[in-house]
Amino acid sequence: MLLRLHQIDKFYSTGEGPLHVLHGIDLSLEAGKSLALTGESGSGKSTLLHLVAGLDSPDAGEIHLGGTNIVGLNDTALAALRRGTVGLVFQQFNLIPSLDVAANLAFQARLAGRPDPAWLKVLAERLGLAKVLTRYPEQLSSGQQQRVAIGRTLAARPRLVLADEPTGNLDEATGDAVLDLILSLVTETGAALLMVTHSNRLANRLNAHVHLQAGRLV
Amino acid sequence: MVWTGLTALLSHWRMRPVQLAMLLLGLSLATALWSAVQAINGEARASYDRAAAILGQDRLAQLVREDGARIDQQVFVRLRRAGWLVSPVIEGEMRFGDVRLRVLGIDPLTLPPQAQQVDIAAGDQLLPFITAPGVLYAAPETAARLTEQATPPVRVAEGLPPGTVLTDIGQAQVLLGAKDKISRLLLWPDQPIGRAPLKLIAPGLTLREPSETGDLARLTDSFHLNLTAFGFLAFAVGLFIVHSAIGLAFEQRRPVFRTLRALGLPARVLVLLLIAELLIFALLAGLVGVALGYIVASALLPDVAATLRGLYGADVPGTLSIRPAVWAAGLAIAVIGTLVAAAQSLWRLWHLPLLAAAQPRAWARASERALRAQGVAAMVLLLTAAGIAQFGSGLEAGFALLAALLLGAALALPLVLTGILHLGGRLARGPLAEWFWADTRQQLPGLSFALMALLLALAANVGVSTMVSSFRLTFIGWLDQRLSSELYVTARTEAEATAIHDWLAQRSDAVLPIWSIEGRVAGQPAAIYGVADHATYRDNWPILSAVPEVWDRIATGEGALINEQLARRQGLGLGDQITLPGGWRASIVGVYADYGNPIGQVIIGIDTLVQHYPDVSRLRYAIRIAPGKAEALARGLRAEFGLPAQNVIDQAGIKVFSLKVFERTFNVTAALNVLTLGVAGLAMFASLMTLSGMRLPQLAPVWAMGLTRRHLAWLELSRGLLLAALTMLAAVPVGIALAFVLLAVVNVEAFGWRLPMHLFPGDWARLAALALLAAGLAAAVPAWRLARLSPSDLLKVFAHER
Ligand SMILES: Nc1ncnc2c1ncn2[C@@H]1O[C@H](COP(=O)(O)OP(=O)(O)OP(=O)(O)O)[C@@H](O)[C@H]1O
Ligand SMILES: [Mg+2]
């Protein structure tokens, strides 16, 4: 099992006291498989994804990633995990504004110490970015930006791809095309995919589907 | 609607108290430094005016001798007999114990009412005034200095300039040892018709029209101009903070502006509201600034007063009076400065398209366009500076050159930094390094004003410290040459002087007279010294240029040496003729360095001096003796003649004193420099703090991809240090250019001497360390906050709520 969550609890501190966002979440995902996570706005989907990515820590429970429990790891270890093992695609504010598309695409792979120019070239072609490599993020459409973000994540060949509404900013046709791409590339690299989405239609195209309601899996 | 709009606008500052504090702090500091300089200048000018107005000189015409020499009292009698309504005045300097004062003698019976300084005729005060031992009138602080000294009775009178005593002309003639002499004649405004012409009765006299500004105001003009220039520089540096704080606040409130516009607030009203908001800030900060300015000014004034006394003999009180004009000017400059700093932002707001989506990067991109315009402006300014350097002349041109140079360099800085950062990115290896350089370049527009302020402050520091250190080096060398005698003695009377001379003849290697008279040369106040024909002068005198055998020609009485400032001001050179007081002429055989002296000086042979000015006071001597025996001789002199300690001074004593005067002269500039650097550091801090809030979207992706917050924080800190270091590098050549202009142009115009430039890289290293420390501190706070930022705050970047 690549990913296993056990009895995860998460609180946020707010002005009105602690907010219990996730209640005893249990979840697992095998390598090479894809899992969709749906739920109403505010149900805790993004929070869950962030915990898995090592961006934030749970208040209780265990997260096993490739056999190690990442809960309680220090900042440096978590950063190494983000660099090497997982790849993240957010809905927005994904890219580094001061670097051009080519540098953005290569960034994470180089950071992880796995640069692979041939693979990058293939990705740029497949994502339709070959013609915009020298542009800066602000000069791209949101669909193009999203494709750069996806390409950047996949370029590093992470074992687990985490995507938070990667198609939320796109129209339906483009969204479908982008999802196709993600799915085929994930399959080709043998990675696992955990994707948050609002759309049941998209969720149904993945291997499995779980639903969050007020912080509990149903 | 207006009120609702204003509350919406002001709520921004409640959310960002640090930004507000920076804006107010920048503005009040800028105002403070400016007002401090204004308060100091105002105090000094007021006391010059008081000096100029004494005895109604600003309103009454006078009769004087063109060469400044004293007039025989007989001339006064002749003029009165011929129907002229004139009143005699004698003035001169003298010592009461160790207090040096200007003595003014008047004739209360003929004094025009306009010259009535003190009401002498009141009650029964006239008789004691005109009969021995007379009465001295003095301002309260002068009177206080005289309590310990043996003087005629002293009465306190308001309105007299400091350091001046007023007494009857007869008493003054006795005190000054100038029997039957007067300095000038005051003319009553209404003169009888048909009186005999001046040429017939008093051929040597000329009429001097009343003048508002005295010699002091003219002499010290350049000093005050210098201060004003530095005050303005500090103010400009402060405005850079204000500009960037306002710019960022406008940028952050763009959505609010749009919403208000969309809700029906006309653009005009919005702009007026923002101006109202700015005016509130400007007035608040202006009040604080002027108050702070007074504190700074009263800390600096004692040094300024000492400088003015040492350098120009100008008496300025050491305490400040509160002047409404300074408050008004301070508030005005705060308001004008704010509006200037906000002009660009307001103009952009006026042209803000109503419907365009909020673009967080639009500001940066507009700045890129501005960068190009800035480059052009920088070129134009630097070319202007070169043009002025080539063709300009005069002190104003010197300062215009400085302004063009500094502003041009500041405007060019972002361009130069962009180039360097490009190059750095090109040379970088590895994704992080590449990102670091690229991201630093992207930060530049937001930081450029703070960096420009830093450049100005650093360049001013490098320039002024180079100037001062060069001056100090030259000055010390010059003192060694100039003060080559081991002891200097001043007798109290001529009889004592003769006795001392005879006593010394057996006990020393040489006794050299230092006798001088004061007068006018080429229309300007000057001193004429006589020197003995002695190796002391031949071997040591700081000659800048001279004909061969110059000292022989002085000894034979044909030639005169003049100081550099007299030569430069009058355009005199070797071989030219000058007319000396008394109307005789001498040819210039040499020019010598005479730093720190505001007036012209002429040196002739001692015999020539005595021959032309038989009345010269013969009290001072320089004594040559083996250095090891000097102290014993000084003790012997004091004991033998009962001389007060300060009448026998050794070489080291004078040097210490001269250096002290020198150091105090530049204390003020040094203090202004440090304060300006502080303001620039604050500008950096303010910009980094404000930017740090806008930076999260740029940093969060890098964090998410596997960098720790601590690593990011270190990078942020290094970025601040890198920019400060590059700015410091750029500041060195600008500072050297500045020093060159100060030494070769401004000093020549202002003081009349040109100094060689010496470079002190050690000073730059110290300044660089200071700049890096300041930048490090400024960058540390936002970096520390970044390191301590909770993940959930960073994650908010990726959520919809942004
Ligand atoms: N940093 C935070 N501090 C306090 N509360 C937070 C924070 N982040 C999220 N929350 C709260 O936690 C709950 C879950 O948020 P989360 O972002 O995980 O929801 P989501 O399912 O991703 O919603 P959406 O579909 O709108 O993205 C919400 O009620 C949200 O308001
Ligand atoms: Mg979410």
Alpha-carbon separation of residue A88 from A79, B604, B705 (angstroms): 13, 91, 7
User: B367 pLDDT band (50/70/90 cuts)?
Assistant: low
Which residues from B are below 8 Å from A53, CB to CB? 704
What pLDDT score was predicted for residue B211?
66
Q: How far is CA B86 from CA B92, B394, B471, in A?
A: 20, 39, 47
Closest Cα to residue A124, out of B253, A116, B476? A116
Q: How far is the CA of A44 from the centre of ligand 1 (A)?
A: 6
pLDDT exceeds 70 at position B321 = yes
Q: Is pLDDT at B294 greater than 70 in this prediction?
A: yes
Look at residue B463 and tell me whether its pLDDT is greater than 50: yes
Looking up tokens 């003995």 gives B532
Smallest CA separation from ligand 1 atom 6, residue: A12
Question: Which of A45, A74, A111 best probes binding to B when mutated, by most B CB atoms within 10 angstroms?
Answer: A111
Closest residue CA from atom 20 of ligand 1: A42
Is the distance from the beta carbon of residue A18 to the nearest atom of ligand 1 less than 6 Å? no
Sequence-separated (6 or more) residues with CB below 8 Å from residue B576: B587, B588
Averaged pLDDT, B72-79: 88
pLDDT of A9 over the 90 cut: yes
pTM above 0.80, yes or no: no
Report the length, in residues, of chain A: 218
Q: Which of A9, A11, A12, A16 is the pocket-test mutation for ligand 1 (most atoms within 8 Å of CB)?
A: A12
Tell me whether residue A15 is in a domain.
no
First to last CA, chain B: 28
Query: Residue B265: pLDDT band by 50, 70, 90 thresholds?
Result: confident
Contacting residues of A for B442, CB less than 8 Å apart: 97-98
H-type alpha helices, B392-430? 395-427
Reply yes or no: is the peptide bond before residue B17 cis, omega within 30 of 0. Answer: no
pLDDT tens profile B161-170 = 777 888 888 8
Domain spans in chain B, listed from the N-terminal domain onward: 59-210, 221-263+271-291+336-477+657-798, 487-624
Looking at residue B673, its pLDDT comes to 79
In degrees, rounded to 5, the angle at the alpha carbon of residue B799 between the alpha carbons of residues B798 and B801 is: 130
The string of DSSP codes covering B84-143 is --EEEEEEEEEEETTEEEEEEEE-TTT--GGG--S-TTSTT-HHHHHSTT--EEE-HHHH
Residue type present at position B639: A
Structure tokens at A159: 């074992």
Q: Give the pLDDT confidence of B399-429 residue by residue, as tens digits.
A: 889 889 999 999 999 999 999 999 999 998 8
| A191 CA → ligand 1 middle, Å | 27
pLDDT of residue B51: 74
pLDDT for the residue B122: 65
- Within 13 Å and on the Cβ side, how many CA atoms surround B594? 24
Say what angle helices A172-189 and A142-155 make with each other, to 10 degrees. Answer: 10
- What does pLDDT average to over chain B? 84
Distance CA B738, CA B755 (A): 14
Q: For testing the chain B interface, which of A83, A96, A134 should be mutated: the one with the most B CBs within 10 Å? A: A96
Give B601's DSSP letter: E
CB under 8 Å to B166, separation ≥6 — which residues?
A: B104, B106, B117, B118, B136, B137, B138, B157, B160
Give the Cα separation of B410 and B45 in Å (integer).
33
Q: Which residue has the higher pLDDT, B71 or B355?
A: B71
Evaluate whether B447 touches B688 at the Cβ level (below 8 Å): yes
On whether residue A156 sits in a domain, the answer given is yes
pLDDT value at position B360?
46
* pLDDT tens digit sequence for B653-678: 878 877 877 777 777 777 777 878 88
Closest CA to B361 of A30, A196, A140, A67: A140
User: Alpha-carbon torsion B307, B308, B312, B313, what sign?
Assistant: negative
Contact A93, A57 (CB under 8 A): no
Pairing of strands B487-490, B600-605: unpaired
pLDDT grade for B1, boundaries at 50, 70 and 90: low
Q: How many domains does chain A have?
A: 1
Percentage of chain A surpassing pLDDT 70? 100
Least confident of A122-136, B284-298, B337-351, B558-572: B337-351
- Across B11-20, B43-52, B599-608, the highest mean pLDDT is recorded for B599-608
Distances (CA, A) of B599 to B388, B520, B620: 28, 10, 20
C-alpha B297/C-alpha B521 separation (Å) is 37
Length of chain B, in residues: 802
Nearest CA in chain B to A166: B798
HSE-CB for B271 with a 13 A CA cutoff:
15
Bridge partner residues of B796 (DSSP): none
Chain B residues contacting A via beta carbons under 8 Å? 361, 365, 430-432, 434-435, 438-439, 441-442, 697-698, 700-711, 791-792, 794-795, 797-800, 802
Among residues B652, B653, B621, which one has the least CA distance to residue B637? B621
Describe the strand order of the beta sheet including A208-213 as a list of residue ranges: A86-89, A160-164, A192-196, A34-39, A208-213, A216-217
d(CA B703, ligand 1 centre) in Å: 20
Q: What is the pLDDT of residue A104?
A: 92
A56 to chain B, closest Cα gap in Å: 6
Confirm or reject: Cβ of A19 under 6 Å from ligand 1. yes
Tell me the pLDDT band of B723, cut-offs 50, 70 and 90.
very high
Residue B290: CA count within 13 A, CB half-sphere: 21
> Which segment, B347-351, B648-652, B679-683, is predicted with the most confidence on average?
B648-652
Strand B524-531 with B600-605, pairing = parallel
With 70 as the cut, is the pLDDT of residue B795 above it? yes
Range of the domain at A126: 30-57+75-217
Rounded (10°) angle between helices B215-252 and B17-53: 170
User: What average pLDDT does range B535-551 have in this prediction?
Assistant: 89
Closest CA to B305 of B521, B43, B88, B78: B43
DSSP assignment, residue B695?
H
Gap from B432 CA to chain A (nearest CA, Å): 7
For ligand 1, atom 3: residue with the closest CA: A12
What is Dmax (Cα atoms) for chain A?
A: 53
Mean pLDDT of B745-766: 85
Minimum mean pLDDT among A126-130, B153-157, B208-212: which range?
A: B208-212
What pLDDT does B352 receive?
67
Identify which of B435, B707, B797 has the shortest CB distance to residue A93.
B797
**pLDDT tens, A158-206?**
999 999 988 877 788 878 888 888 888 888 888 899 999 988 888 999 9
Residue type, B802: R
Give the up-direction half-sphere exposure of residue B646: CA atoms within 13 A in the CB hemisphere. 7
Q: Are the beta carbons of B89 and B61 closer than 8 angstroms?
A: no
Give the H/E segment covering residue B431: helix B431-482
The pLDDT of residue B801: 44
Query: Alpha-carbon distance B540 to B728, whole Å?
Result: 41
Distance CA B383, CA B587 (A): 42
Cβ B231 vs Cβ B38: under 8 Å: yes
What's residue B358's pLDDT? 44
Q: Residue A44 CA: which ligand 1 atom is closest?
A: 18
Please check whether residue A193 lies inside any domain of the structure: yes
Is B706 within 8 Å of A94 when comparing Cβ atoms?
no
Biggest CA–CA distance in chain B, Å, is: 104
Kindly report the nearest CA distance between residue A99 and chain B, in angstroms.
Answer: 7
d(CA B546, CA B771): 46
Determine, for residues B705 and A108 on separate chains, whether the beta-carbon distance falls below 8 Å: yes
From the list A79, A92, A93, which residue is nearest B706 (CB)?
Answer: A79
* pLDDT above 60 for B797: yes
Beta-bridge mates of residue B518? B527
CB contact under 8 A, A55 and B707: no
Minimum CA–CA partner of B429 in chain A: A110
pLDDT given for residue B802 in this prediction: 39
Give DSSP secondary structure letters for B135-183.
Answer: -EEE-HHHHHHHTTS--S-EEE-TTPPTTEEEEEHHHHHHHHT-TTEES
Using an 8 Å Cβ cutoff, are B465 and B767 in contact?
yes
Please state, in angstroms and as integers, the Cα–Cα distance from residue B674 to each residue in B179, B739, B760, following that order: 53, 17, 18
Q: Which helix (H) or strand (E) holds B186?
A: strand B184-187
* Closest C-alpha residue for ligand 1 atom 27: A41
What tens digit of pLDDT does each residue of B148-163 get?
A: 777 788 888 877 877 7
Q: CA-CA distance, B125 to B49, in Å (whole number)?
A: 28
Q: Which atom of ligand 1 is nearest to the CA of A47?
A: 18
The percent of residues above 90 in pLDDT, for chain B, comes to 19
Q: Is A45 in the pocket of ligand 1 (CB under 6 A)?
A: yes
Q: How many A/B residue pairs have CB atoms within 8 Å?
A: 89
Q: What percent of chain B lies above the pLDDT cut of 70?
A: 95
Q: Distance, CA A10 to ligand 1 centroid (Å)?
A: 11
Taking the centre of ligand 2 as the mean of its atom positions, its distance from the CA of residue A114, in whole angstroms, is: 30
- The residue contributing the CA closest to ligand 1 atom 17 is A46
pLDDT at B20 over 90: no
Tell me whether strands B515-521 and A68-69 are parallel, antiparallel or unpaired: unpaired
State if residue A43 touches ligand 1 by the CB under 6 angstroms criterion.
yes
Q: Is B800 helix (H, G, I), strand (E, B) or coil?
A: coil
Q: Whose CA is nearest to atom 31 of ligand 1?
A: A42
Which domain CATH number covers A84?
3.40.50.300
Q: Is the pLDDT of residue A4 over 90?
A: yes
Taking 50 as the threshold, does the pLDDT of residue B357 lie above it?
no
Q: In what order do the strands lie in the sheet with A3-14?
A: A17-29, A3-14, A60-65, A68-69
Q: Kindly indicate the confidence band of residue B784, based on its pLDDT and cuts at 50, 70 and 90.
A: very high
- In contact, B749 and B395? CB cutoff 8 Å: yes
